[in-house]
Amino acid sequence: MLGISHLLISGTATSLLLGTASPTIIAVGAIAGLLPDIDISTSPAGRVLPWVSAFFESRMPHRSCTHSLVASSAIAIVGYGVALFHPQFVNLIHALTIGYTFGWFADVFTRGGVEMFWPSPVRCVCPGNRNLRLRTGSNVEYFVLVVLIAIALAVFNINNSGGLFTQFNRLIASPSGVQHIYNESSSTHLIKANIKGVRTSDRCLIYPEKIFKDGR
């Protein structure tokens, strides 16, 4: 896959799973998606860290050790070990772990696949038909790239507006969802709610409009 494809996939996955629109966190997740390809010298990560790339390239095939559950586990163990002593970095560690994992998992859909269960040499691929898998730099990948850009923009917009859960609650207006939105936003926003119905206790009519003010 192209480097930009890895950036978009990992950045979008980070934003979606963490429900964040923070440029810093998304950038960490996106860049982490390039790290699995450090096992080849021609990749962006390999050019930045050529001595690390040379170590992997001379000892194992491309998309093996660094494209595996073992590598993701190692990243998580080291990262969360650091977070134990520096909890302020925990969101960045989340982004690093998510971005790295989605970075190599995306290569499952390429023709070569990945050694997901390294040190087992068995390659995991999807779909089974080789002709339906992505070929790096092909027209199909560029089409997928356009789709990824659209998805990334949509996810960023949703998270910038409060996240998927908030948008869903706004859509269906469930009582628990409305309460959740109020509890989260009442200290910093003026919340205006249109309420129609009757009280369950005495069946008296509720005024059609109420304004809640809090924190202002």
- In this structure, the answer to whether residues 12 and 109 fall within a common structural domain is yes
pLDDT in tens, 19-37: 888 899 999 999 999 999 9
9, 103 Cβ separation under 8 angstroms: yes
Question: Which pLDDT score is estimated for 134?
Answer: 84
- In this structure, the answer to whether residues 36 and 121 fall within a common structural domain is yes
- In this structure, the answer to whether residues 155 and 185 fall within a common structural domain is no
Q: What's the CA angle centered on 73, arms 69 and 76, to 5 degrees? A: 140
- In this structure, the answer to whether residues 105 and 176 fall within a common structural domain is no
Residue 180 pLDDT greater than 80, yes or no: no
- In this structure, the answer to whether residues 172 and 150 fall within a common structural domain is no
Give one word for 68, left, alpha or beta, with left for phi > 0 and alpha for psi -120 to 50.
beta
- In this structure, the answer to whether residues 7 and 90 fall within a common structural domain is yes
Q: What's the CA angle centered on 174, arms 171 and 178, to 5 degrees? A: 90
Compute the mean pLDDT over every residue in the chain, rounded to the nearest whole number. 83
- In this structure, the answer to whether residues 154 and 173 fall within a common structural domain is no
- In this structure, the answer to whether residues 89 and 177 fall within a common structural domain is no
pLDDT in tens, 85-133: 999 999 999 999 999 999 999 999 998 899 999 999 999 999 888 888 8
> H or E stretch including 210?
strand 210-212
Residue 56 pLDDT level (bands cut at 50, 70, 90):
very high
- Give φ, ψ of 135 to 5 degrees: -115, 130
**Separation between Cα atoms, residue 145 and residue 8, nearest integer Å:** 8
Beta pairing partners, 106: none
- In this structure, the answer to whether residues 156 and 178 fall within a common structural domain is no
**Separation between Cα atoms, residue 19 and residue 16, nearest integer Å:** 5
Q: How many other CB atoms are found less than 10 A from the CB of residue 121?
A: 10
Residue 188 pLDDT greater than 70, yes or no: no
- In this structure, the answer to whether residues 48 and 129 fall within a common structural domain is yes
What domain range includes position 173?
Answer: 166-212
Question: Which pLDDT score is estimated for 215?
Answer: 43
Residue 61 pLDDT level (bands cut at 50, 70, 90):
very high
- Examine residue 119 and say whether the peptide bond preceding it is cis (omega within 30 degrees of 0): yes
Q: Which of 44-48, 143-147, 179-183 has the lowest mean pLDDT?
A: 179-183
- In this structure, the answer to whether residues 31 and 112 fall within a common structural domain is yes
Number of domains in the chain: 2
- In this structure, the answer to whether residues 144 and 185 fall within a common structural domain is no
